[in-house]
């Protein structure tokens, strides 16, 4: 589902970078830390860490070699590296990191509780574990909500594929329970909302043709006539500004806590 950074960027990568920057800023980490970015993808969170947290080192891990290559090409340097690995068995020793973070990933992991436990394992006592996911369930990711509302109106199959149905973890309470269950102390949750402005309808629709992610994969599965019907329904229902732009917002739920001492 996720394979090429070049297709991910125009779909949600451009908005993920906005969330990542605010997410890292809110953690208010001391400089000089050693960070792990779990499910690093194209490197949005790692980039934000380098820009805002003054780390000694940040290492990203992702199961997709193509994403790791993309991140290395754009970010690797003396303080950053990226490796291929599994969130359920992180290739890092116990207790060496000061922070383990993950953005927009845990809803795609088959065992989120195990992934959270792995993040706790790799940080030392007092270390931070922090995650964020798009708000699918309450409609805060408006570009995706509009897509599935249109798809479900035209096709019964779409209901089971809707991220709001598929990803119950993507909510404030489930994320709190996930991190508390992993043994973290002082778990807090929050939300980050960013503007998502599309130049025009083509800027909105084009990324859905890239085949990456649940909604683009659904579009790729449609016969051409059904795809055109969905496109025109969206064209008719999305709000337009006077200049033809489409101005929406995207909300992410955040959660973070600390590994207890001892």
What are the pLDDT digits (tens) for 147-191? 999 999 999 999 999 999 999 999 999 999 999 999 999 999 999
Task: Specify the CATH number for the domain of residue 50.
Answer: 3.40.50.150
Confidence grade of residue 110 (pLDDT, cut at 50, 70, 90):
very high
Q: What is the pLDDT of residues 182-240, one digit of tens each?
A: 999 999 999 999 999 999 999 999 999 988 889 999 999 999 999 999 999 999 999 99
Spell out the alpha helix ranges (H) of the chain: 5-8, 14-27, 44-52, 65-75, 112-122, 142-154, 158-161, 163-166, 172-181, 201-205, 214-221, 224-237
What is the 3-state composition of the chain as percent helix, strand, coil, each rounded to the nearest 5?
45, 25, 30
Residue-number span of the structural domain to which 63 is assigned = 5-258
Residues with Cβ within 8 Å of 89's Cβ and at least 6 positions away in sequence, in order, are 118
Q: Name the domain count of the chain.
A: 1
- Mean pLDDT of all residues in 136-144: 93
- Mean pLDDT of all residues in 114-127: 98
């Amino acid at each position: 589902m996720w394979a090429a950074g070049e297709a991910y960027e125009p779909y949600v990568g451009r908005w993920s970078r906005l969330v990542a920057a605010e997410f890292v800023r809110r953690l208010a980490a001391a400089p000089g830390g050693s960070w792990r970015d779990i499910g690093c993808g194209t490197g949005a969170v790692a980039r934000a860490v380098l820009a805002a947290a003054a780390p000694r080192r940040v290492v990203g891990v992702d199961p997709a070699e193509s994403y790791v290559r993309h991140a290395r090409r754009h970010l690797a340097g003396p303080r950053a590296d990226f490796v291929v690995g599994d969130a359920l068995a992180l290739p890092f020793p116990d207790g060496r990191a000061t922070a383990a973070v993950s953005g927009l990933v845990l809803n795609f992991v088959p065992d989120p509780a195990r992934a959270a436990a792995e993040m706790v394992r790799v940080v030392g006592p007092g270390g931070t574990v922090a995650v964020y996911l798009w708000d699918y369930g309450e409609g805060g990711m408006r570009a995706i909500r509009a897509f599935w509302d249109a798809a479900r109106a035209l096709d019964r199959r779409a209901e089971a594929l809707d991220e709001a149905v598929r990803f119950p973890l993507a909510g404030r309470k489930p994320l709190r329970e996930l991190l508390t269950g992993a043994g973290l102390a002082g778990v807090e949750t929050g939300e980050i909302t960013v503007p998502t402005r599309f130049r025009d309808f083509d800027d909105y629709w084009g990324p859905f043709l890239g085949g990456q992610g649940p909604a683009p994969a659904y579009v790729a599965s449609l016969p051409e006539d059904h795809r055109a019907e969905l496109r025109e329904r969206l064209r008719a229902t999305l709000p337009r500004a006077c200049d033809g732009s489409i101005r929406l917002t995207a909300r992410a739920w955040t959660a973070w806590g600390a590994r207890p001492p001892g």
